[in-house]
């Protein structure tokens, strides 16, 4: 299959391009599209054979459920058995935006979307392209548009690198704004549980509802968000994450690895003089770091390095989401 890339404007997506993509989706095809977090790979959520194509293209295990994207509360109501009052409060404050809510599913949602679970994850994206597509097609089931195990795509080129030949169309509206995936909250348990940290922070959410944090799981337990049991965001090159970095510490680490004959890449927040073979600076604020993180990991992984040393940041606010991805990418944490 030939994979077409169509460019469109983020703020004013061209109607004819949206129409083409919507037609493909309605015919049971899958299409990659930008959201404000990362690129998604979508299918009509109520068409099980279309949804199966997503799992095949990504090489995604069938026990990892997808997020249903909607353009209206009415469409969310079609996917969910009943929307609890607290969900309505969260939707009012954060939708459209990077907050995914897990609630008991309606009968209409096919089991392949939820991997057989009785709950469904729903979010209303704020990206004009994603919203326009959902408006035309109805609920769209979409995971991140990377192949399984790779970092999520924040550019159309990342999607192309992973899925070329496997999907008919990628909509390209440039780099995504946020850069890491949505916050996921399960409202199917009491108290509600944070399943994945994101741009909407725990601190913010706790002003609205009590929230338990369960983003790491032991191997033996059945994870609440099935996707969490898989190693994610992992470059092929080993990643050493340094939790409490200082200029001296990073410099020493780089040099001692180089003495062992290793080619070292550095993923850092600010500027250091270390002599590392490759350096990529992603920025000091969690917002800046999140935006460039996955692109930086993909780039470093192409540089034929023996080791990537990554600088950690404080795990509060949005920093928690960035560190969650870095911890998952890391093969060693220091
Ligand atoms: O920002 C995002 O959320 C992006 C964009 C494309 O919207 N999507 C995304 O999807 O990151 P994905 O499939 O890569 O991650 C979805 C996560 C998985 O870890 C999955 O296990 C979890 O959501 N999930 C989906 N449905 C669930 C459910 N019913 N209960 C618990 N976890 C669920
Ligand atoms: Mg994903």
Is 11 part of any domain?
yes
Between β-strands 264-268 and 307-311, what pairing exists: parallel, antiparallel or unpaired?
Answer: parallel
Q: What's the 250 CA to ligand 1 centre distance in angstroms?
A: 34
Contact 265, 243 (CB under 8 A): no
Dump pLDDT digits (tens) for 231-244. Answer: 666 789 999 999 98
Q: What's the 64 CA to ligand 2 centre distance in angstroms?
A: 9
Looking at the fold, whether 176 and 247 belong to one and the same domain comes out as no
Q: What's the 83 CA to ligand 2 centre distance in angstroms?
A: 25
- Atom 13 of ligand 1, residue of closest alpha carbon: 143
Confidence of residue 220 (pLDDT cuts 50, 70, 90): very low
Q: Would the pTM count as exceeding 0.75? A: yes
Looking at the fold, whether 104 and 178 belong to one and the same domain comes out as yes
Is 175 part of any domain?
yes
Looking at the fold, whether 266 and 143 belong to one and the same domain comes out as no
Q: What's the 180 CA to ligand 2 centre distance in angstroms?
A: 10
Looking at the fold, whether 159 and 264 belong to one and the same domain comes out as no
Pocket test for ligand 1, best of 67, 76, 217 (most atoms within 8 A of CB): 67
Dump pLDDT digits (tens) for 77-90. Answer: 999 999 999 999 99
pLDDT at 332 > cutoff 70: yes
pLDDT, mean of residues 7-21: 97
Q: What atom in ligand 1 is closest to the CA of residue 39?
A: 6
Tally of domains within the chain: 2
Is 230 part of any domain?
no
Say what the pLDDT of residue 217 is: 47
Taking CB atoms within 8 Å and a gap of at least 24, the contacts of 133-137 are 133/18, 133/21, 133/22, 133/25, 133/31, 133/33, 133/42, 134/69, 134/70, 134/71, 134/75, 135/71, 135/72, 136/18, 136/19, 136/22, 137/22, 137/25, 137/26, 137/42, 137/44
Confidence of residue 229 (pLDDT cuts 50, 70, 90): low
CATH code of 93's domain: 3.90.870.10
Ligand nearest to the CA of 61: 1
Looking at the fold, whether 159 and 201 belong to one and the same domain comes out as yes
Domain span including residue 83: 4-213
């Amino acid at each position: 299959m030939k994979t077409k890339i169509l460019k469109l404007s983020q703020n004013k997506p061209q109607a004819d391009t949206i129409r083409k993509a919507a037609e493909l989706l309605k015919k049971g095809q899958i299409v990659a599209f930008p959201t404000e977090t990362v690129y998604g790979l979508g299918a009509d959520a109520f068409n099980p054979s279309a949804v199966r194509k997503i799992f095949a293209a990504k090489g995604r295990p069938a026990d990892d459920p997808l997020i249903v994207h909607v353009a209206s509360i009415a469409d969310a109501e079609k996917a969910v058995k009943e929307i609890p009052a607290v969900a309505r409060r969260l939707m009012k404050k954060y939708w459209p935006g990077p907050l995914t809510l897990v609630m008991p599913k309606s009968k209409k949602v096919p089991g392949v979307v939820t991997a057989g679970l009785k709950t469904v994850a729903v979010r209303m994206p704020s990206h004009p392209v994603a919203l326009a597509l959902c408006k035309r097609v109805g609920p769209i089931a979409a995971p991140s548009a990377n192949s399984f195990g790779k970092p999520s795509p924040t550019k159309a080129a990342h999607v192309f690198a992973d899925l070329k030949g496997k999907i008919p169309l990628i909509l390209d509206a440039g780099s995504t704004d946020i850069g890491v995936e949505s916050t996921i909250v399960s409202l199917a348990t009491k108290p509600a549980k944070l399943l994945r940290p994101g741009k909407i922070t725990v601190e913010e959410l706790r002003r609205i509802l009590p929230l338990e944090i369960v983003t790491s799981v032991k191997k033996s337990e059945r994870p609440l968000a099935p996707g969490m049991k898989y190693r994610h965001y992992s470059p092929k090159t080993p990643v050493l994450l340094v939790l409490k970095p200082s200029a001296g510490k990073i410099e020493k680490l780089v040099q001692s690895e180089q003495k062992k004959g290793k080619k070292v890449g550095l993923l850092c927040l600010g500027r250091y003089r270390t002599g590392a073979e490759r350096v990529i600076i992603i920025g000091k604020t969690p917002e800046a770091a999140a935006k460039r993180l996955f692109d930086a990991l993909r780039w470093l992984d192409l540089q034929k390095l023996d080791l990537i040393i990554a600088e950690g940041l404080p795990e509060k606010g949005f920093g928690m989401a960035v560190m969650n991805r870095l911890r998952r990418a890391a093969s060693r944490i220091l």
